Amino acid sequence: MDYILALDQGTTSSRAILFDRQGQVFASAQHEYPQHFPQPGWVEHDPLDIWHSQLACAREVLQQSETDAGQVAAIGIANQRETTVVWDRRTGQPLCHAIVWQDRRTAAICDALRAAGKAELIQRKTGLELDAYFSATKLQWLLTHVPGARIRAERGELAFGTVDSWLAWKLTGRHVTDVGNAARTMLFNINSLRWDEELLALFGVPASMLPEVVASSGQVGVTKEEWFGRAIPLAGIAGDQQAATFGQACHRRGMVKNTYGTGCFMLMHAGAAPPVSHNRLLSTVGWTIEGRTDYLLEGSVFMGGATVQWLRDGLGIIKQSAEVEALALSVPDSGGVMLVPAFAGLGAPHWDAYARGTIVGMTRGTTGAHIARAAVESIAYQSAELLGAMQKDAACAVHEVRADGGAARNDMLMQFQADLLGVPVIRPRVTETTALGAAYLAGLAVGFWASSEEIAAQWQLERRFEPQMPAARREQLMARWAKAVVHAKSWAEPGQV
């Protein structure tokens, strides 16, 4: 047994990576799949596209590396969180397209629940803000709007799950989710670590639809032989951000990582009890390993690397995402331009479903390069807001932030981030920490790695970005950012998405 196979199912692509015992990438494959935007504010995926792209990656990485399935000790899954899938238990066919975490169609449902005074109840039980981001209102919408769905669900014919559950079902035939993914549905009580009957009733969700909740590290089944030629244990499951936090070896209270992916997600290890946020951050389950559950404090930014994709696909000012750094560096600064990428509303700490993307400060001298630089800088501004809120909640100093994700390869972004945070940003040699975290969780379950301490010892620094900006300039820029955000807020009318 030479490798662990990580399935990293993301918002825009599926990846498969083989890791060796040193936690190094041995082979990888990646496939993009279609995005569907049927109405403004709606984002959907075809669950079969997710499955076929993920299976193709897994087979490709084994074939191209000439690795037999018998050399794979276990599989670990990391997945885009909150995305809501419903399928037929008998046929295994999706009921309809999945509603993606970015989708805002249920903002009005959240407004009604807030008006009914339910926000505090939801926050107390789940650690989450009442927002369309999470799965519960998406599932409620599907049961209401897909013909026959509610009747079929009440008969026990339909299964619900986030993407991890969908993949686990297809791979092994088991209907499971791990505690961390369950905690993102807004149906799971993070204090009792159980599905919550009061929340199920509030959202009108039949309990029969729900997956069994399992530990993040532990064998839950084996793959069907038809997929890889022989059975492989499925032994690790984690939402992408929990997986990245574990892969970054943030195993001790107070350690912080920030993932620069489609969105940006900053998480702090909060210890063995659910933290309470007074600054509109999320309290969430990290992982359960050998009976111990660790909790995290999280800030979520909806548009991170996706902002660069918009420059490419929407504006056409770059042809490939990797070109953005050179274009941004072709000007000394943004020329006073601020871009607030609230294309899908604003996440933490604002939680404004009706905010919209805004560019302010343009003059006749503004060029595509200035807009590109403002777009890159917007990623850092949003993340700086998160760390500020996190330090207030945790009441402890943060000494460094570990960075990962595709946009973490952008040196200009990493330096600007360190300048805005006022603490070093450190980038590991292996930036595929989401997949690595899933591999570590699976490997621990089957004895491929002996302990979390062994895993932490494998973490290696690639580059350290020290803050260079004077504090007065940092404060000035953050004040200008806050002014720009005001212009983006509450732009769409209630009832719109």
Average pLDDT of the segment spanning 267-289 = 91
pLDDT tens for each residue of 326-370: 999 999 999 999 999 998 889 889 988 889 999 999 999 999 999
Q: 88 a known binding residue?
A: no
Q: 473 a known binding residue?
A: no
pTM (two decimals): 0.88
Q: 410 a known binding residue?
A: yes
Residue 211 has pLDDT above 60, yes or no: yes
Question: Burial level of 391, CB count in 10 A (0-12/13-18/19+)?
Answer: middle
298 residue type, one letter: E
Residues 6+ apart with CB under 8 A from 301: 263, 264, 265, 266, 347, 348, 379, 382, 383, 386
Residue 374 has pLDDT above 90, yes or no: yes
Question: Burial level of 129, CB count in 10 A (0-12/13-18/19+)?
Answer: buried
Q: Report pLDDT for 494.
A: 67
Q: 191 a known binding residue?
A: no
Q: Are 76 and 7 in contact (CB under 8 A)?
A: yes
Mean pLDDT for the chain? Answer: 93
Beta strand spans in 67-193 (E):
72-79, 85-88, 98-99, 158-161, 176-178, 188-189
Q: Residue 253 to residues 245, 250, 459: CA-CA distances in angstroms?
A: 12, 8, 17
Q: 13 a known binding residue?
A: yes
What is the C-alpha separation between 190 and 126, in angstroms, rounded?
Answer: 5
Q: 241 a known binding residue?
A: yes
What is the C-alpha separation between 114 and 351, in angstroms, rounded?
Answer: 13
Average pLDDT of the segment spanning 25-41 = 92
Q: How many CB atoms lie within 10 A of CB 96?
A: 16
Average pLDDT of the segment spanning 392-407 = 86
Q: 305 a known binding residue?
A: yes
Q: 367 a known binding residue?
A: no
Q: 8 a known binding residue?
A: no
Q: 240 a known binding residue?
A: yes
**Comparing C-alpha atoms, which of 306, 295, 256, 308 is closest to residue 101?**
306
Residues 6+ apart with CB under 8 A from 7: 14, 15, 16, 54, 57, 58, 75, 76, 77, 78, 167, 435, 438
Q: 21 a known binding residue?
A: no
What are the residue ranges of helices labelled H in 330-470? 368-394, 411-421, 433-445, 452-457
Q: Report pLDDT for 497.
A: 55
